[in-house]
Amino acid sequence: MITKYNKIMEGVRDAVSMPRSGRGVVGLLSRPEAEWLSRIPKVIGPALYGELGTFSGLSAFLLAVSTLDSKLITVDLFTQQHVTRRFRLKGDVFTDVKNTFKARGFDSCIEMVRSRTAEAAPLFGDGSFIFLFIDADHSYEGVRSDFEAWQSKLQPDGIIAFHDSHKEAIIKFHSEIVDWEEFDRVETLSVWKRK
């Protein structure tokens, strides 16, 4: 898989524009990170994908464009958020994101779960997912809780990607992970597989 991964991800760090599926959607991904997310399903193929932390759906769109023959489970509380002055969500966030998925034709391949991320893990069997994107609570406790709750849900050859891996709390948590290894990094996105 690494040979295929390297070939498909070639040039991802040089991305200068947002992939088409993500244009017009509010989000906090760099262009290379967005490009990486849009390509990872091409590496893995049809399967069950998971996303913890949806915000307005940018990362879900990027994953879904290549997973139309797969399923993406996205978990979030879908509440109003104020990340920065430019990035804020107001109103009925769940309905707004759901309607955006539907308008872009992704409602059949994206299932939204309204829950705290770690609390949703028991809804799924062990080994159900091939890929997990962790981008919810960025505190040490939040990332640790998500990883501990969800790592068993991944298949043995599954991949976990963490966003905002430059943050102190996430760096601290990463230093404590055993049985997994980081094998790639694209800006603040770190990519892990089992040892």
Residue 18 half-sphere exposure, CB side, CA atoms within 13 Å? 15
Q: Answer yes or no: are the C-beta atoms of 40 and 80 closer than 8 Å.
A: no
Query: How many separate domains does the chain show?
Result: 1
Tokens of 186: 């694209």
The pLDDT value recorded for residue 26 is 67
The pLDDT value recorded for residue 69 is 76
Strands 71-76 and 110-114: parallel
Strands 48-52 and 71-76: parallel
The pLDDT value recorded for residue 104 is 82
Q: Answer yes or no: are the C-beta atoms of 62 and 36 closer than 8 Å.
A: no
Could you list the residue range(s) of the whole structural domain that residue 94 is in? 2-194
pTM over 0.75: yes
H/E stretch holding 131: strand 129-134
In sequence order, what are the residues at sequence separation of 6 or more whose Cβ sits closer than 8 angstroms to the Cβ of residue 45?
Answer: none
What is the C-alpha end-to-end distance of the chain, expressed in Å? 14
Q: How far apart are CA 80 and CA 59, in angstroms?
A: 18
CATH number, residue 118: 3.40.50.150
The pLDDT value recorded for residue 139 is 94
Q: How far apart are CA 163 and CA 189, in angstroms?
A: 5
Mean pLDDT (10-residue bins), the chain, 195 residues: 90 88 75 94 93 87 77 88 53 82 86 96 97 95 97 97 96 96 97 96
Q: Answer yes or no: are the C-beta atoms of 5 and 41 closer than 8 Å.
A: no
